[in-house]
Chains A and B, each alone.
Chain A
Amino acid sequence: METPQLIVSPAPHIRARQSTAGIMWMVVTSLIPAAAAGVVLFGRPALVVIVSSILAAVLAEAFCQRVTGRRITVGDGSAVVTGLLLALTLPPELPWWMTASGAAFAIIIGKQVFGGLGHNLFNPALAGRAFLLASWPGAMMTWKWPAASLSWAGESVDAIGGATVLGLARQGFFAKHGVAVPYSQLFMGNIAGSLGETSALALLIGAVFLLAFRVIDWRIPLGYLGTLAILALLAGQDPIFHLLTGGVLLGAFFMATDYVTTPITPGGRFFFGLGCGVLTFLIRIYGGYPEGVTYAILLMNAAAPLLEKATIPKRFGEVRADV
């Protein structure tokens, strides 16, 4: 009779069927509504930005892996995610070659020099955006209102020019002219801004998709958006306005939730979101830029290893050595 085989192996014994590539393509899927909204609102130039960003990111990834003699892994979708995320944070009419340089910077300096996927310390897409903002500040702050989106402004329409909603708020435009952008318009995204950040509706569809499949952890967006709303309330500002304008929804759900550049501990994640909220609010109101999501997340990326160290949970049954 045959003796039963006993296979001894270390944990884990039960594995999820999720893979890195699977998750990356799910993130890409979740971003499709926002990208589509950008193209619908801003037309063909937005499509050029998206395509050139993704192409440049994928090519840069393949190039780096080729040069360093590693396996070429553009099929895992991570370069596509970076390229797409970067495109969604850019002004819709940015020239394709600026977009492509930003995407190449994001992949090469933001990710590949650190050893590739899983080892980058800053969110690559945001590193690319910060690089573009430092290199071509003029082009990076040229905004355009979608056609027929200015009816709320009434008489004062000529004073709007090329500013975003947050830019106008910063100049005191709304208080001065006694007008406001209707919530419905902010929610649909029929406003000036980066091509993928304006439509709250499209972003929320993607976010619900990611949360439902547990691709992202709710702690970070909750900490981020909650902190921002509470601070706005405390400062006597409109919290809904702060949540619907600028890039905070895009940042909170799709960038601050990046696995690699955020703390792995649940407590650390909450504090990560909290820090992002505080920094975003401070930069919006008192900083040198109308919007602070990019820098807030990058700064918290820099603090992520320390947050992680400070929030390691207590091991069960651990006894202090000195007792």
Chain B
Amino acid sequence: MVDLLLISFGAIFISNFVLARFLGICPFLGVSRKIETALGMGFAVIFVMTMASAITYGVQKLLVRHGLAEFLQTISFILVIAVLVQFVEMILRKTSPGLYQALGIYLPLITTNCAVLGVALINADPGEGYNFIQAMVNGFSGGVGFTLAIVLFAGLRERLEFAPLPKAMEGFPIALILAGLISIAFLGFSGFRLQALLGL
């Protein structure tokens, strides 16, 4: 149980996928203009990251058994992720057309969201040595960390909507600077000794 807490806290705060590992920047910048869409994107990513962690865990085991992991790992992981994203897309189109419209091109682009491939590869890393449950918790928490980052970011960007930005800063430049500043703030979590907090 404690190991799961450590993994979870680490993936959300200490090595946040967006703000510390710098993965998943594309949807982070793309769909963070409104809090609602950012939240929708976050939930989609949580689902895909959790499921991808679960399925790629089995795929990785299979690949290693047949000695294929070296060259088949990336492509098979991407295939799994692409299928999951298609699945999310079908559900969203049926159940929430508004969100589907708002996410637009960024929804199919979760396929190439490097945070999702990133979590699958981190889980498969023998150095981490995650078991099935740990891998899934890492994927879920990674998604929660992504959601936290993108919702905070969207809240700040909404405030900028009416700011008299210098012409050169409008759009992506200011978003990148803002992302950098949030990332600096998240440095506060670096080196956090969670073991001590949990009394270990």
Is B67's beta carbon under 8 Å from chain A?
A: no
Interface residues of A in 109-140 (CB under 8 A from B): 109-110, 112-116, 119, 121-122, 127, 130-131, 133-134
Which one of A115, A130, A286, A305 contacts B165 once the chains associate, using CB atoms below 8 Å? A115
Is B178's beta carbon under 8 Å from chain A?
A: yes
Given the interface contacts A114-B174, A122-B181, A302-B152, does A287 sit within 8 Å of B189 by beta carbon?
yes
- Please determine whether A114 and B190 come into contact, CB atoms closer than 8 angstroms: no
Is A68's beta carbon under 8 Å from chain B?
A: yes
Question: How far, in whole Å, are A35 and B169 apart by their CA atoms in the complex?
Answer: 35
Is A295's beta carbon under 8 Å from chain B?
A: yes
Interface residues of A in 132-169 (CB under 8 A from B): 133-134
Interface size on B, residues (CB 8 A): 33
Interface size on A, residues (CB 8 A): 37
Question: How far, in whole Å, are A159 and B124 apart by their CA atoms in the complex?
Answer: 46
- Please determine whether B191 and A288 come into contact, CB atoms closer than 8 angstroms: yes
Interface residues of A in 268-323 (CB under 8 A from B): 279, 282-283, 285-289, 292, 294-296, 298-299, 301-306, 309
Interface residues of B in 6-48 (CB under 8 A from A): 35
Question: How far, in whole Å, are A109 and B131 apart by their CA atoms in the complex?
Answer: 43
Dominant SS at the A interface? helix
Which one of B159, B169, B186, B197 contacts A121 once the chains associate, using CB atoms below 8 Å? B159
- Please determine whether B163 and A114 come into contact, CB atoms closer than 8 angstroms: yes
Given the interface contacts A115-B165, A119-B164, A309-B155, does A282 sit within 8 Å of B197 by beta carbon?
yes
Question: How far, in whole Å, are A102 and B152 apart by their CA atoms in the complex?
Answer: 25
B36 to chain A minimum Cβ distance, whole angstroms, is 11
Question: How far, in whole Å, are A299 and B19 apart by their CA atoms in the complex?
Answer: 12
Give B162-191 as 1s and 0s: 1 = Cβ < 8 Å from A's Cβ atoms.
011111010001100110011011111111
Is B83's beta carbon under 8 Å from chain A?
A: no
- Please determine whether A121 and B164 come into contact, CB atoms closer than 8 angstroms: no
- Please determine whether B155 and A306 come into contact, CB atoms closer than 8 angstroms: yes
Question: How far, in whole Å, are A226 and B167 apart by their CA atoms in the complex?
Answer: 43
Residue in B closest to A119 when the chains form the complex, CB atoms:
B163
- Please determine whether A109 and B166 come into contact, CB atoms closer than 8 angstroms: no
Chain B residues whose C-beta falls within 8 Å of the C-beta of A282 in the assembled complex = 192, 197
- Please determine whether A113 and B169 come into contact, CB atoms closer than 8 angstroms: yes
- Please determine whether B177 and A113 come into contact, CB atoms closer than 8 angstroms: yes
Given the interface contacts A114-B160, A121-B159, does A131 sit within 8 Å of B188 by beta carbon?
no
Residue in B closest to A122 when the chains form the complex, CB atoms:
B181
- Please determine whether A134 and B163 come into contact, CB atoms closer than 8 angstroms: no
B46 to chain A minimum Cβ distance, whole angstroms, is 18
Chain B residues whose C-beta falls within 8 Å of the C-beta of A127 in the assembled complex = 181, 184
Given the interface contacts A121-B160, A287-B192, A305-B158, does A109 sit within 8 Å of B185 by beta carbon?
no
Given the interface contacts A116-B164, A119-B163, A305-B159, does A288 sit within 8 Å of B192 by beta carbon?
yes
Chain A residues whose C-beta falls within 8 Å of the C-beta of B174 in the assembled complex = 113-114
Is B193's beta carbon under 8 Å from chain A?
A: yes
Question: How far, in whole Å, are A305 and B159 apart by their CA atoms in the complex?
Answer: 7
A170 to chain B minimum Cβ distance, whole angstroms, is 11
Residue in B closest to A68 when the chains form the complex, CB atoms:
B166
Which one of B166, B178, B184, B190 contacts A298 once the chains associate, using CB atoms below 8 Å? B184
- Please determine whether A130 and B166 come into contact, CB atoms closer than 8 angstroms: no
Interface residues of B (CB under 8 A from A): 35, 151-152, 155-156, 158-160, 163-167, 169, 173-174, 177-178, 181-182, 184-194, 196-197
Some 6 contacts from A to B, beta carbons below 8 A apart, are A115-B160, A121-B156, A121-B181, A131-B184, A286-B193, A287-B193
Supplied contacts A112-B166, A309-B155, 16 more A-B pairs, CB within 8 Å:
A116-B164, A119-B160, A122-B185, A130-B187, A279-B188, A282-B192, A292-B188, A294-B188, A296-B188, A298-B185, A298-B188, A299-B186, A302-B185, A306-B35, A306-B152, A309-B35
List the 8 closest pairs (A to B, CB-CB), nearest first: A288-B191, A295-B188, A305-B155, A298-B185, A119-B163, A115-B163, A115-B164, A306-B155
